[in-house]
Structure 1
Amino acid sequence: MTWHVDIERIAGILDGAATLDPGLNAVRGSNWQGKSSFIESIKVALGTSTELTEGADSGRVRLDTPDGTYDVSLAREGGTVHRSGTPYLTDEYDTIRAALFACLDERNEVRRAVREGENLESVLMRPLDFQNIDEQIAALRGEREQIETELSQAREAKKRLPTVQERVTRLEDELIELREKREAVAASDEDEGSESVQRQLSQARTEQSQARNRVERLEGSVERTEERLAERRADLDSLEIPEYTDVEARLEDARDALEQVERDAEVLQSVYSATEMVLSENRLDLITDVERDIEGDSLTCWTCGGETTRSDLEARLDALGDRLTELRARKESHRDTVEELETQREEISQARRRESDLEDEIADLEETLADREQSLEAARNRLEEATERVEELAERVDETVEERSDVESEIKYREAELEDAADELSQLETRAGRVEELEAELGSVREELSALRNRKDRIKHEARDAFDEAMREILSRFDTGFETARLTADFEVVVARDGREASLDALSEGELELIGFVAALAGRESFDVAETVPLLLVDGLGGLDDDNLHTLIEYLRGRTEYLVFTAYPEYTAFDGREIDPTEWEVANESPATAD
């Protein structure tokens, strides 16, 4: 289960190799011995980095795992480094997940965003940008519509099966009786002279039956078409297009108002935060002259130059806070208005699409009805002609010949009808047999479509839950200067100290690093990174003391199969594999390249 890494001219390592065991793998060494470069080499093998040794034209990393060998070569061409070979990760979605949530070195974007106090939504949700969710949803919608059409046909076929089966059985029984009757009539028919007239009469009656059958089918078709046409006209008459006044203009005004309130809130928040920090840190003397007195500090207002007191400033700050709260409430109100107007616009659009579809379908039905009525008129004329022909021939045969002709004609008609019914039954059985299969396919597509639609919201929710859970575990292990930290719905990190919200700027470097790791682990959990990359790379933990570093490493150890991290020699030993960087040949020309 070990991994083996061979390195040539990657980052600060000119030549080196190491073996990784499941569990802890500590790279212990002083500055410039290649600790960070070793982490960078594994990133090159994963496919998340292309860092060559400074001044080198080429380099390579070979990674041997129980599942396969991955060989990556880098080459510098015209100031740009190009990668060739096969890295551990080839899919862009997997690569961005690993870079954000498995490669937790000092360059990690999540850790950096926490250190700089940035909003975390864009960095934590970045893998979603590489999944083309909208395109997948569009494709699934088309697939769903196709399956729904086929399923509707299959269910209709299943309903019609008993009726058609009964019809086939009835026709088979009628044919048996008719053939027996034909044999009886043939046995008693001794008038050979009527044979020619009988054939003509039989043919005429066959044509008459066919014409009558066509008339009946066309009459039924015309009736069904008229019913459908009446239904669609009724649907069109009952269709109501919502009459919302000036939706587009109101929507544009609402968006403008929302944007203005958001800008006002941002400006006011900046003023509020700056003033609050000066007061909470008791650093008024940084920006104005302060005269301290037993009864209270007096100072010069740094904006207007007038004399004021700290109490007055705090009162004005409270007023600013009330105004900020009011602006936030207005922002939510404007946002609700925008959403309502967008909904109204969509309702109008859907109604108009439905109106257009109904008008198109009505036009098609009207055209179809005209064609079928024309065909029906022609079929009736043919039936009338066939009937006259039958009557003429019937007068020329005796009762026996007429009876035999009737039987023959009826047999042919029933045989043709039976053939049509048998074909229809076979088609219905084939369609009806797919009902369960199509229902399962439709359910699967609907579930997948629902999962895609809700994926972003679900991932956000899971990320915040994972952040809260990891933070509780971290706080239970570390003695931090804050009681708790959480991710807001807007993905802002909020910490609490002494029961009140505190600024991230007030946290120590080590505390910020802990929050950065918690955020990265939350992303790792919500995007299932461990299923693709069974390791964590950790570097740049100089801000933690010995006890805290051991505590963090033990916590991370339980979150991954392979944990690779760097540490200085002054830290006490770790319970795991230790990798000695002194065996590597490193480039010491620049300290930054070999650390």
Structure 2
Amino acid sequence: MMDPELLGDSAKLEVRNVGGIDETTVEFAPGITILAGRNATNRTSLLHSIMAVTGSDDASLKADADEGRVELTVGDERYVRTFTRTNGTVTTGGEPFLDDPEFADLFAFLLESNEARRTVARSGDLRELIMRPVDTEAIRTEIQQLERERSQIDDELDELDELKPKLPKLEQERTRLESDIEEKREELATTEADIEALDADVDETREEKRELESRLDELREKRSSLEQIRSDIDLQQESLESLTAEQRELEAERDGLPDAPMGEHHELDDEISRLRERKEQFEREVSDLQAVIQFNEEQLDESGSVATHLDDDTGSVTDTLVDQTVVCWTCGSSVKQEQVTDTLDQLRAIRQEKLEAIRSVESELSQLKEKRETYREHQNRRESIDRKLSDIADEIEDRETQIERLRSQREELSAEIETLEAEIETLESDDFGDILDLHKEANQLEFELGRLESDLDDVVDQISSIEEQLTEESQLHTQREELTEELRNLRTRIDQIEATAVEQFNEHMATVLDILGYENLERIWIERVERTVREGRRHVERTQFELHIVRSTDTGATFEDTIDHLSESEREVTGLVFTLAGYLVHEVYEMVPFMLLDSLEAIDSARIADLIDYIADYAEFLVVALLPEDAQALDETYTRVTDI
């Protein structure tokens, strides 16, 4: 984005060995700068130099030079683009204004070869042109990521909803346990009081009593240990069941994963490599074609071309062109300038075909990479499942071993308890029967009390855990709302760009037509429609921009026409307004301060002046290349450059 502090500063451009320029320095004030002059005065080369230093590749090194340089100074900021020829190959370097010039190439650098202008003229795909710089794939990827995050939050909220009904039951269980504990404590206190009362009558048999109490304490400890072992067995059994269920789920998931033979992986890698090489070949061909096209444009410019104007009364192209020939700079023979122009058009068409081929290869590359990534994800998931299944198998084996050990301990303790109970029975006598019963009862009450307290601790922990999780519910709902809003914005972003582009074009087109006053041309507007198109074997819905042209007859009746029937002037104006819509929709004015205009000869001088005045409101620096007679129609206060 352009630094706001740079706005209002002048700009200085220094060029050496670019296009047809040996060396020049030009200063631009904010507003309109007119490059006035005849052909072969390096006006186009200067525009290409501006494009080069802002990041565009649509510029070339001077044919007889090995090094070239463009330097742009705006305020305190300096930007440089260098050209170096080595073994016949030109490489670029430096630090240009933009890292990615795509928006500027399409919507700010409006030379004759500008793709947006030419697309309108040949009834091309306007919607594709507007949306090309928008990374729709990145938007879709972001949408998928946000959907996954929202789904995860939904799962967490569902879990909280499942926890809510458990809370009242757990609180009831806590109340019950607290009540039971209180009752057990009262029973134990009563039993211990009874024991103390009987202890006063059996002082003389204290030794026997201690032996019995020792046996009873040992019995209580072993019963507690037995109960703990039983609880441990239950926990191990639950864990074993959970592991077995998880093992079945993972095995089912692994069986459901598609097989991806390694041979197919290698085939994909080979195909991706082949397509990359093909893309690189196309890019080299495009680069070579661009160099040839620009060289011929410059040579044609230097040879002198004939500008044609619209008749001020009719608005149509003049019927007669000045018969002019040029000397072919390849064979030295005289040829019609029109032949050279036709050849250039053919080269531009070939370059456009190559660019479309590059986009096609990029699309195929993207699909193959996605397919390869899917294969890799399946393979990684399979390997992850295998590792987890191995870990689960080891853990199952460990749980089973622990269960066997615990069962063995349970049997040993049961046998020891039986032995203790038998010993205690032999120690009992009629004199100590009551106190022994009381001690047994006290031991049992203490054991039951311990178990109730342990159960209460578990319930309290569960309640605390649920209450802590429920405190996150409000935050989760807020996060979900924010994600939903982001998704809504992303899903409508493409629609908003399309709708805004159509709105901007229609609004500006209506204003410009009113300003320029074309006769019998009532309206030019774009309609955004949905069309069913074929993609491979599928039919899908796609948005398209349909250009409508409405004319009127001398009687006032209106009818719809096609762009093929527009005059050259009308087509050029339509193309420029379309690029202006793209310029505003994508806010290109925040990316680069320059807008460049060239090849306006098809429009008459008065209309050129009106059109430039209109466009000037939207660019910091508007640089226009004009013939002297066209430049005269503009306000004399505008900066003029006549010597390059």
TM-score w.r.t. the length of structure 2 is: 0.56
Pair 1:571-2:603 in alignment: no
Give SS of 2:24's match. Answer: strand
Count of matched residue positions in the alignment of Structure 1 and Structure 2: 439
Q: CA deviation at 1:109?
A: 0.6
Pair 1:495-2:549 in alignment: yes
* Distance (whole Å) between structure 1 residues aligned to residue 136 and residue 486 of structure 2: 18
2:13·2:26 contact (CA, 8 Å) conserved in 1?
yes
Look up the match of 2:117. 111
Q: 1:389 to 1:560 in 2, by over 3 A?
A: farther
**For residue 486 of structure 1, what is the amino acid of its counterpart?**
W
Q: Among all aligned residue pairs of Structure 1 and Structure 2, give the percentage whose two residues are the same amino acid.
A: 28
* Distance (whole Å) between structure 2 residues aligned to residue 414 and residue 144 of structure 1: 42
2:181·2:453 contact (CA, 8 Å) conserved in 1?
yes
Q: CA deviation at 1:495?
A: 0.9
1:206·1:413 contact (CA, 8 Å) conserved in 2?
no
* Distance (whole Å) between structure 2 residues aligned to residue 179 and residue 58 of structure 1: 99
**For residue 154 of structure 2, what is the amino acid of its counterpart?**
E
1:32 to 7, 27, 40: 40
2:146·2:487 contact (CA, 8 Å) conserved in 1?
yes
Look up the match of 2:440. 402
Pair 1:580-2:641 in alignment: yes
Q: CA deviation at 1:108?
A: 1.3
* Distance (whole Å) between structure 2 residues aligned to residue 61 and residue 527 of structure 1: 27
Q: CA deviation at 1:111?
A: 0.5
**For residue 59 of structure 1, what is the amino acid of its counterpart?**
G
| Alpha-carbon displacement from aligned partner over 1:282-327 (angstroms, at most 9, x marks no partner) | xxxxxxxxxxxxxxxxxxxxxxxxxxxxxxxxxxxxxxxxxxxxxx
1:157·1:429 contact (CA, 8 Å) conserved in 2?
no
Look up the match of 1:521. 580
Q: 1:222 to 1:53 in 2, by over 3 A?
A: closer
* Distance (whole Å) between structure 2 residues aligned to residue 429 and residue 544 of structure 1: 76
1:171·1:414 contact (CA, 8 Å) conserved in 2?
yes
Pair 1:486-2:525 in alignment: yes
* Distance (whole Å) between structure 1 residues aligned to residue 183 and residue 443 of structure 2: 15
Q: 1:404 to 1:16 in 2, by over 3 A?
A: farther
**For residue 12 of structure 1, what is the amino acid of its counterpart?**
G
Look up the match of 1:345. none
Unaligned runs of 5+ residues in structure 1 are 230-363, 585-595
- Report which structure shows greater RCO (CA 8 Å, sep ≥6): 1
2:215·2:420 contact (CA, 8 Å) conserved in 1?
no
Q: 1:198 to 1:518 in 2, by over 3 A?
A: same
1:538·1:566 contact (CA, 8 Å) conserved in 2?
yes
Q: CA deviation at 1:477?
A: 1.9
Q: CA deviation at 1:520?
A: 1.4
Look up the match of 2:220. 201
Pair 1:559-2:618 in alignment: yes
Look up the match of 1:45. 53
Q: 1:6 to 1:562 in 2, by over 3 A?
A: closer
1:202·1:405 contact (CA, 8 Å) conserved in 2?
no
* Distance (whole Å) between structure 1 residues aligned to residue 499 and residue 111 of structure 2: 26
1:477·1:551 contact (CA, 8 Å) conserved in 2?
yes
1:25·1:565 contact (CA, 8 Å) conserved in 2?
yes
**For residue 4 of structure 1, what is the amino acid of its counterpart?**
A
Unaligned runs of 5+ residues in structure 2 are 1-6, 200-208, 249-388, 425-434, 530-543, 553-557
Q: 1:402 to 1:460 in 2, by over 3 A?
A: same
Look up the match of 1:71. 80
Q: 1:75 to 1:508 in 2, by over 3 A?
A: same
**For residues 2-41 of structure 1, what are the structure 2 equivalents within 5 Å?**
2=9, 4-9=11-16, 10-41=18-49
**For residue 159 of structure 2, what is the amino acid of its counterpart?**
Q
Give SS of 1:112's match. Answer: helix
Q: CA deviation at 1:451?
A: 4.7
Give SS of 1:74's match. Answer: strand
2:506 to 468, 491, 495: 468
Q: 1:383 to 1:148 in 2, by over 3 A?
A: farther
Q: 1:79 to 1:380 in 2, by over 3 A?
A: same
1:432 to 470, 474, 481: 470
* Distance (whole Å) between structure 2 residues aligned to residue 565 and residue 181 of structure 1: 104
Q: CA deviation at 1:468?
A: 1.6
1:534·1:560 contact (CA, 8 Å) conserved in 2?
yes
Look up the match of 2:451. 413
Q: CA deviation at 1:479?
A: 0.4
| Alpha-carbon displacement from aligned partner over 1:106-137 (angstroms, at most 9, x marks no partner) | 22111111223334233233224674445444
**For residues 252-267 of structure 1, what are the structure 2 equivalents within 5 Å?**
none
Pair 1:477-2:515 in alignment: yes
Look up the match of 2:568. 509
Q: CA deviation at 1:51?
A: 1.3
Q: CA deviation at 1:577?
A: 5.5
Q: CA deviation at 1:515?
A: 0.6
Look up the match of 1:123. 129
1:20·1:562 contact (CA, 8 Å) conserved in 2?
yes
Q: CA deviation at 1:446?
A: 4.2
Look up the match of 2:68. 59
Give SS of 1:48's match. Answer: coil
1:157·1:431 contact (CA, 8 Å) conserved in 2?
no
Q: 1:484 to 1:179 in 2, by over 3 A?
A: same
* Distance (whole Å) between structure 1 residues aligned to residue 36 and residue 411 of structure 2: 105
Q: CA deviation at 1:19?
A: 4.2
2:33·2:621 contact (CA, 8 Å) conserved in 1?
yes
Q: CA deviation at 1:516?
A: 0.5
1:5·1:61 contact (CA, 8 Å) conserved in 2?
no
**For residue 14 of structure 1, what is the amino acid of its counterpart?**
D
2:29·2:639 contact (CA, 8 Å) conserved in 1?
no
Give SS of 2:545's match. Answer: coil
**For residue 540 of structure 1, what is the amino acid of its counterpart?**
S
Q: CA deviation at 1:47?
A: 1.5
TM-score w.r.t. the length of structure 1 is: 0.60
**For residue 81 of structure 2, what is the amino acid of its counterpart?**
V
